[in-house]
Amino acid sequence: MRLRSLAIQLSKLEQLSNQKSELEQYQTEGEIAARWLFDILAFNDLFEDCRVIDLGSGNGILGIGAVLLGAESASLVDVDEYACSICRKNVESLGIEDKVSVINSSINDSIQFLESPNLVISNPPWGRQKMGADRPFLESIIKIGVNAHLMHSAEAAHIEGFFKRNGWPSEKYGEFDFAIPASYKHHTRERGRTRASLWRITPP
């Protein structure tokens, strides 16, 4: 599948219309998700027969995109029941129910349901509403123990240090503008942009 075709497919997915500020539910745009997945392909971390875990899956855009690019399976994990219902609708709309499972669970509790994944992809909460909100996601990457790709705020200064303390190499390989619509009451502008970074994290 070409990059443009994937971006169009992902842009058509149903989004979360009832976003929760405490969960920092910001939608990843189809174009950004497609380009990120192609970056992951370029690292050879996404491949045929690959089993993918999408931690904090939102509407499922990343895990679904991985399957559309040839992954064997994807597990979409989100603590929000409503987000999981949107994930299921999107999976069904593409007819890929046999390849995608949706797990409504906290990040820590979900690990027991995961079967020998090859890759973790995650755009976790960045901790702007609750300090340390990303910590369970970072810890889960360590526990799962496979290559991971992470999107985070470009202002985050703790990513490299966290993984270094655990003996894991990390590499920041991309940075771009991430759109933030005025989804919540505390937002004063209709639409803003913030800088986001992409990280590749590998086991020691």
Query: What digits encode the pLDDT tens for the residues 56-80?
Result: 999 999 999 999 999 999 999 999 9
Can you tell me the mean pLDDT for 119-137? Answer: 84
Mean pLDDT over all residues of the chain?
Answer: 88
Residues 150 and 124: beta-carbon distance below 8 Å:
yes
User: What pTM, to 2 d.p., does this model score?
Assistant: 0.89
> What is the CATH architecture assignment of 3-201?
3-Layer(aba) Sandwich (3.40)
| Distances 127 to 101, 137, 153 between C-alpha atoms, Å | 27, 11, 9
How many other CB atoms are there within 10 angstroms of residue 122's CB atom?
24
Residues 144 and 114: beta-carbon distance below 8 Å:
yes
Phi, psi of 63 (to 5 degrees): -65, -40
- Find, among 173, 55, 196, the residue nearest to 114 by Cα: 55
**Residue 187 confidence class, pLDDT cut points 50, 70, 90:** very low
Within 8 A by CB and 6+ apart from 97, the residues are 91
Q: Give the three-state DSSP class for 67.
A: helix
Q: CA-CA distance, 183 to 191, in Å (whole number)?
A: 9
Q: CA-CA distance, 115 to 53, in Å (whole number)?
A: 9
The C-alpha torsion from 119 through 24 and 162 to 201, rounded to 10°, is: 20
**Residue 188 confidence class, pLDDT cut points 50, 70, 90:** very low
146-177 confidence digits (pLDDT tens): 999 999 999 999 999 999 999 999 999 999 98
**Ramachandran bin of 117, using left for φ above 0, alpha for ψ from -120 to 50, beta for the remaining angles:** beta
